[in-house]
Amino acid sequence: MIGLVVAMLAAAIGIVGLGITASRDSVDDALVTEKVDELLAAAPAAVEAPAGESVLPVFVPKAELLPVPATEINVSYAPAVPPASGRTTPAIVEVHFEVVENVVAIDPATGVEYETWGFRLNGDSQVNMGTPGPMIRARVGDVLRFTLTNPATSTHPHNIDLHAVTGQGGGAADTTVAPGETKTIEARMLYPGMFMYHCAYGDVPLHIAHGMYGGILVDPAEPLPTVEQEVYMVQSEYYTNSTEPGLVETDRQSLTDENPSMVVFNGAKGALSGDNTLTMAVGDTMRIYFVNAGLNLDSNFHPIGSHWDAVYPEAALLNPPIRGSQTTLVAAGGGTVVELIGQVPSTIVLVDHALTRTFDKGALGTIVVTGEANPEIFEALGDGVPATDDSPAAVAGETVEIVAGSWNVQDMDAPDEFAADESPADYSINELRIAVGTTVTWINNDEQIHTVTDVDGAFDSGFFATGESWSYTFDTVGEFEYFCIPHPWMRAKVIVEG
């Protein structure tokens, strides 16, 4: 854009100068007109230039580049994001990964285990699961010096295709390493954005399905505005022959059929919920750098109970963001950068809005927003149905406890969902039988915000926090199934008898 402005300014100066020259009697007007036309033809068109103009950085020769400062951090494990460098000049960014092949829990709550293949920082033996791999952060114009080691203890050859890299196979051809080998490439970061990387060796779908993927962020020369929190997220799929507890194997046919057994965030069910939930304060902005590793399904990324205040489609950071979006589409092998604001205290639920992937297969994360309520944005009105002269005579009330830990992610439609001995339990009573006119009070003894919401819309508590309660008087005979909006696996019933 600077080049465009300079070129147009030079053309304008030239034209003015020629105009002055033409006012002299000794100069041929036709000659001046010809020169003006030449200048105008050579000047970039203001409207067309953004599409036709090169956005590639001006290269500083590699021989003149220095390594990044010793204090600069360029890698981190999900969901952490390396801090922005703050540099205004390019440098050499050195990153060294090693392959990790291990059996790990991909559904810790039920004990489903799978042999994942992934990436970790070289020598980091404390990391047993490299799925997703570490996030890399560089700056446009930087040279990435990337090294991949495949330990001698590995079983398979591997490599890495970095979508941020321009070169054969995104570097895959020159990073192919058999067990015991190490290879290095250097690549210029040409375009800013959030890019996927993955193994591209042999049966590429199989290697990705085993967990060999991650993300690389290339910051633009003019960095994005500072926000209070940044998060690294990857959506991916597992294709297993079972979802029962124990070690499961790959179902290669379901991989071909594009029918995953699990769809997850950050490599496993529960990786961004329960004890791993994200947190933010009211008024803060969270920026999420998101990659859809697929390998087959597009993602319909949506924050239940919030909005994307800003979306950079395809994570293309040279372009202005969309403002005020509800759901953004992320192609398999693509990315996005989204921002949301903590407007009110609540639990925001991050989902793929092809919702069977969320509630049946695991693509669910949570953000707990804490702080002062703002009734100008959201307020629950009333504590239930007010009594009237025609209401049935009041009877002794009932109390239902929302039990501690009920917010931890569970399977939807569990066979014991409404059983008295449901495990793990969400409520102290799963099927409450009462007489018409009874007032039921729900007490939140969990650490998270909840709602009590009838599936058919008969009542809705709104959010109520730990230690708070909400009451509703049932004056109609019938069966009322209810659930919690931010934790929809929490389901129970009230049966009202005449």
Query: Please, is 298 exposed, middle or buried when counting C-beta atoms within 10 Å of its C-beta (0-12, 13-18, 19+)?
Result: middle
What is the CATH number assigned to the segment(s) 60-377?
Answer: 2.60.40.420
- In angstroms, the CA 169 to CA 185 distance is 12
Ordered alpha helix ranges (H), 43-134: 49-52
Judge contact between 289 and 378, C-beta under 8 A.
no
Sign of the dihedral through C-alpha 176, 181, 187, 192 = positive
Query: Please, is 184 exposed, middle or buried when counting C-beta atoms within 10 Å of its C-beta (0-12, 13-18, 19+)?
Result: middle
Q: Is-same-fold flag (60-377; 395-497)?
A: yes
CA angle centred on 3, ends 189 and 22, rounded to 5°: 165
- In angstroms, the CA 175 to CA 85 distance is 26
Radius of gyration of the chain (CA): 29
- In angstroms, the CA 217 to CA 89 distance is 17
327 to 177, 336, 351, 430: CA distances (angstroms): 39, 11, 10, 33
Q: Where are the domains of the chain?
A: 2-52, 60-377, 395-497
- In angstroms, the CA 374 to CA 377 distance is 6
Cβ count near 446 (within 10 Å): 22
What is the CATH number assigned to the segment(s) 395-497?
Answer: 2.60.40.420
Residue-wise pLDDT tens for the chain (498 aa)? Answer: 444 443 444 444 443 343 434 444 444 545 444 543 444 344 333 233 356 789 999 999 999 999 999 999 999 999 999 999 999 999 999 999 999 999 999 999 899 999 999 999 999 999 999 999 999 999 999 999 999 999 999 999 999 999 999 999 999 999 999 999 999 999 999 999 999 999 999 999 999 999 999 999 999 999 999 999 999 999 999 999 999 999 999 999 999 999 999 999 999 999 998 889 999 999 999 999 999 999 999 999 999 999 999 999 999 999 999 999 999 999 999 999 999 999 999 889 999 999 999 988 999 999 999 999 999 999 877 544 444 445 444 456 899 999 998 877 777 667 778 888 888 889 999 999 999 999 999 999 997 888 999 988 899 988 888 888 999 999 999 999 999 988 888 999 999 998
Closest CA to 491 of 445, 436, 435, 425: 425
CA angle centred on 475, ends 470 and 477, rounded to 5°: 115
Residues 6+ apart with CB under 8 A from 313: 319, 322, 328, 336
Type of residue found at 363:
A
The 8-class DSSP code of residue 313 comes to G
Which residue bears the tokens 């994001």? 81
